[in-house]
A and B are shown apart, each in its own frame.
Chain A
Amino acid sequence: MNSVKWEESFKKASELLFSNLKEGESLNLNFDGEETTFLRLNNAKIRQASTVEQGSLELELHLGQKKADFGVPLTLNQLQNEEVLKEALANLQKEVRSLPDDPFISPLTNEGTSRTVLEGELPDGESFIKAVVKETLGADLAGYLTTGQNYRANANSLGQHHWFSSDSFFFDYSLYTAKEKAVKGSYAGSHYKESELIDSLDDSIRALEVMDRDQVELKPGAYKCYLAPSALNEIAGLLGWSALSGGSYKRGDCPLADLYEGKQSFNSEVTIQENFNLGLSPRFNEWGEVSKEVLPLIEQGKMKELFVSRETANEYGLTSNQASSSEGPRALEILPGNLKREDILKEIGTGLYLSNLHYLNWSDKNKGRITGMTRFGCLWIENGEVVGPIKDLRFDETLYHIFGSGLKALTDFSEVMMETGTYSGRSLGGAKLPGMVVEGFKFTL
C-alpha cells in the first residue's frame, strides 16, 4: 500500500506551496487520491479491466476579500509535483489580483489536525474472477468490482492538517433471467472474504428464482408499497439535491421549504440525521471543519436543521454546521421503526414490494414532488404472498406523502449502503436506511 508515500507527497506539496505565499495571502489545500482496479463484467465475464493511479490537489488562495481556486495533478513523483505546483501557484497569485472582491468570503481558520487510516484486506483480481465464474456458472451477471485505496486530505497555511485513507471495495452487480427480469446484488466493505462474496451471489441467485414467474402488468393508480432500503436509498439520494440545503432554501430552490417553514410535516416516526459514526467518509469538509458526529436534520417529522456551510452562513447571517459546500448529506441515516422483516409481506397485504428505484428527478421541485421508475426485483404481492415480478411502472409522488400521510411503517432493521459513484474518481460516503411501507403511492405510467 502506498498510503505513506501519498501522505508524504501531500505533506511536501503543502510545505512547498505555503513557503511560496506572498504577503497577505493564505492558502487552503484539498487532496483526492486513489489507486483503484475496476473489473467490469457482462455475462459474468470481463468486459474491461482497468487500473487507475491518480491524485489531484485543489489550491484555494485567499487575498483579503478575493479568492480563486486551481486544481492540478498530484503524483508520487516530487519533481513533477514541484514543477506543476509552482506554476499553478504563480497563475493563481496573478489571477486572484485581477478579480473583483467577493463579499461573502470567510477567512480561513485553523480547525486542528486529524489522521485516520483505515486498513483492510482487498480482493485480488484473479481469485475474485475465478470465484464469480464458478458461482455464477450459467447465470447472466453484469456489474463491476471496484477495489483499492482512497485518500483524502486537507491542510491550510494556518497550520490545519487532516489525513484520511481507507482500503475498500465494492462489487455492485445484477443477475438476469432469460425473460430479462433482474435482481440487484452488492458485496462491499474493507475486509474481503471469498466466502462472503459467495454468500452474496448465492442469495441473489435464490432471489432470482421468483423473478422467473409470469410478469404482472399493473394499471397506473395508487398502490400500497414496501420500499426496501436500496429503494429508499434512491429517494435519499434525491434529498442531497438541494432538499436539505440552507443555501437552496434562501435562494428559493429548496423542495422541503414547506417542511422547514412548518407548513408541512412528515410522520412523527421519521427521524433523519447525518451520522459520521457510520465510518464511511471523513468528518472534515473542504475547509477542514470537523462536523458533529451526529447532526439531527429531521426529528419526529419536524425539520430541525438544514445543512449550512460557512459560505452560506456568511452570506445570509446563519450559523454554520460545518456542512460541505454542496450542503448535501455525506453520511445520511434514517432511523428504523418497528416493522419486523418477517412481517413485511403481511403489512403490504396486497401491493408492491419495491427493491429498487431508478432515475429519480423532481417533477415539481417547489412542492417536493418526485418521479422515477421501478427497476430490479420489484414484485406484486397479494394477500401477503408473492405473485410475480411486475412490468416497470413510473411513479409521481410527493415527499410529503411518502414520509408523511402515506407512511405506515418503518422496518426495525437498517442496511448500510456504500456510495458506489465513480465519476472522475471514487466517491466516499454512504447511507444507513431502513425499509418502509407507504400507502397510496401513485403510479402514472
Chain B
Amino acid sequence: MTMRANLHDFRPILSKALDGCDWWGIREYRETTQFRMARNGQNAKNETSFDHGVMVEAMVAGKIGYGATNELTSDGIERACQKAKTNAHLSALSSLFTFDPSIRPKAVGNYHSKFEKPLEELAPGLVQERLMKTTKMMAADEAVIEASAYVMITETQINYLSSNGSDWSQTFHMVTKDLSATAKKGEITQNRSLGMQGRQWGAESLEESQLLKESERIVREVHQLLVADDCPTEKMDMILSPDQLYLQVHESIGHPLELDRILGDERNYAGWSFVGPEDFGSLRYGPDILNVTFDPGLPGEMASYQFDDNGVPATKEFLIENGILKNGIGGIESQKRSGLGGVSCARATSWNRPAIDRMGNINIEPGESSMDDMIKSTENGVLMQTNRSWSIDDYRNKFQFGCEYGHLIKDGEIKGVVKNPNYRSSTVPFWNSLSHVGNGETFEIWGSPYCGKGEPNQVIRVGHAIPTCKFENIEVFGGA
C-alpha cells in the first residue's frame, strides 16, 4: 500500500493540541503481512493485512496518557491528542509513579534489517507455487494424512517524532515459515514439523531447494516416529536442541527477568516472578558456563533493532554472566521505578498499544562443547528436538515441555528414535543442572512472533539465538 501520511505534516497539529504538556511524542506504525498457506499440494490461503495508525503520548505533570487512532487526518490526530491528554489527567488522580521527560531521550537515526534478497522477489503466485510443491511432495507419502506449509512475510515501518527533537525510523523485513506432516499407522498418529522458523531476512528464506530438502527430512522422521517406542519415564540426562531450548530460555529466563513482572504490573495476567530485586548481582541462576545476553545487534534475529519504542538506543548487555544474575529485562520506565539496571526493551505490539517491557533477543552465548562431546559424555539420556507443548507457572518456576522428536542415548551413543518426549522441572535447579553449553557449530537463530503479555494484551516478536545444551538428571517422561 502506498505511504501517504507523513508524520512531519502533523507536527503543527500536535504542537497546538498538546501545548502545555511536559513532553509529547507520536509513534507511527505501518505493517503489511502476507500469510500464504498450502495443504496437501493445494492452494489453501492467501491473506494480506495492512495496518497503519499512530499512538500519541502526552506527559502532563509527570504522568503519561495515551491516545491511538488509525484515522490519519488532522481530525483523527487531534482526537488522539485530546484522549492522550485526558488520560494523563486521569492518571494524575491516582498514579503509580511520576516520571519526567528524561524517560524519552532525544533519538535520531534510521535502521533497516539485513537481507540478502529483497522480499519483492516473493510474488504471491511464486510463493504459493513453492508451498504447493512442498506439500505435494510430503502428501505423496502414503502414511501422511495431512501436509501443510505456511509463510508469513512481514514488512514493518516505525516512525517516531517528539517534542524534544526525536526523529527516527526503523524498517524490518521478516519471514516466518513452517512445514508440517501428520502421519498415521493403525492407532498411532504422529506429527513432525520444521518448528516455526522466524527471522529478519529476505527472499533467501524461501529457496525452493531448501524447502524440499526440509520436507524430505520431515517425512523421513515422521515415519520413524510411527514405529518408535514411547520416551521412557525416568530421571536421566537430557540434550536439548536449539529448536526446543529457545522456548525454555524464553519461558524460564526471559519472562522471569522482565522488570515489569518483578514490579507487579503483570500479576493479573502473565504473572509475577520468582526473581526479586535483591537477586540481581547475587542469584546463581546456573553454573559458570551459563552466559545469557540481551543482544539487539545480532543480524537476522527477530528483535534486532536500533532503538526501543521509547527511543532509547539498544545495546548488547549481559543478563546472566558466568551463571550470576546481572541485569533485568526492563526499559527506562521500569529502571526508574525499580532502581535496577535494565536494557532497551520497551516495545509495543503496534500503534494501538503503549510500550511495555518485552524480551527482544535473549540469547545463550556459545560455549565450548561439541555435539560429539555431549553425546559421548551421556551414559543414559535423551536428545529432544522441536517444541510442541509448553507450560509454566505464573512465578516462572514449575514448567513442563513436550517435543516432537527424541533419540535415546546409551553409553555415549545415539540409539533409536523415541516418540512423545517430555520433561518437567523447576527453573533454578534446572539451569543449575546444565553441564555442557554447545559451541558455535551448534548455535542457531530461533524466535517467535507470538510472545503474549500485557493488559491490554500485546503479542510481540522475540529472537533467541541458542546453542545445543546438556542437562543432567532431569525428570523425563513419555505419552499418556
Contacts and interface: CB of A to CB of B under 8 A. Distances in A.
A82 B471 CA distance: 59
A99 B393 contact: no
A338 interface: no
A54 B349 CA distance: 15
B182 interface: yes
Interface string A124-144: 011001101100000010111
B390 A100 contact: no
A152 interface: no
Contacts of B372: none
Contacts of B67: 50-51
Contacts of A79: 73
A80 B129 contact: no
Contact of A371 (B76, B146, B391, B420): B391
Contacts of A358: 271, 393-394
Contact of B90 (A102, A129, A142, A182): A129
Interface stretch (A63-71, A265-273, A328-336): A63-71
Contacts of B68: 50-54
Contact of A75 (B70, B95, B128, B271): B70
A311 to B, nearest CB: 9
A53 B71 contact: yes
B350 to A, nearest CB: 7
A42 interface: yes
A394 interface: yes
B393 A392 contact: yes
Given A38-B455, A367-B479, A99 B43 contact: yes
Contacts of B272: 180
A129 B94 contact: yes
A103 interface: yes
Contacts of A189: none
B122 interface: no
B182 A251 contact: yes
Interface string A321-363: 0000000000000000000000000000000000000111111
A122 B56 CA distance: 24
A357 to B, nearest CB: 10
Nearest to B452: A423
Interface in A88-125: 88, 91-92, 95-96, 98-104, 125
B424 interface: yes
A44 interface: yes
B46 interface: yes
Taking residues whose C-beta sits less than 8 angstroms from the other chain, chain A's interface range is 35 or more
A421 B46 contact: no
B91 A373 contact: no
Contacts of A373: 391-394, 398
Given A73-B70, A129-B93, A42 B263 contact: yes
B44 A45 contact: no
Interface string B143-154: 001100000000
B255 to A, nearest CB: 11
A82 to B, nearest CB: 12
Interface in B248-300: 263-268, 271-272
B115 interface: no
B395 interface: yes
Contact of B392 (A38, A102, A359, A367): A359
Given A49-B65, A445-B424, A88 B42 contact: no
A46 B91 contact: yes
Contacts of B397: 392
B389 A144 contact: no
Given A73-B70, A102-B44, A445 B1 contact: no
A372 B393 CA distance: 8
Interface in A392-410: 392-394, 396, 398
B182 A76 contact: no
Given A142-B264, A358-B271, A371-B389, A71 B47 contact: yes
Contacts of A184: 268
A68 B47 CA distance: 6
A300 interface: no
A317 interface: no
Contacts of B392: 359, 373
A238 to B, nearest CB: 11
B146 A445 contact: no
B92 to A, nearest CB: 9
Q: Which 3 A-B pairs have the closest CB atoms?
A: A50-B66, A367-B480, A71-B49
Given A42-B263, A46-B94, A99-B125, 14 more contacts: A52-B69, A53-B70, A69-B45, A84-B50, A91-B48, A144-B455, A172-B268, A251-B182, A252-B146, A358-B394, A361-B390, A366-B479, A368-B480, A445-B426
Interface of B: 1-2, 4, 42-53, 63-73, 75-76, 79-80, 83-84, 86-88, 90-91, 93-96, 123-125, 128-129, 132, 145-146, 182, 184, 189, 191, 263-268, 271-272, 349-350, 352-354, 356, 388-395, 397-398, 400, 402, 420, 422, 424-426, 452, 455-459, 479-480
15 contacts: A40-B455, A40-B456, A46-B90, A46-B96, A48-B64, A72-B1, A75-B73, A80-B71, A99-B128, A133-B93, A133-B94, A358-B271, A359-B392, A371-B389, A392-B394
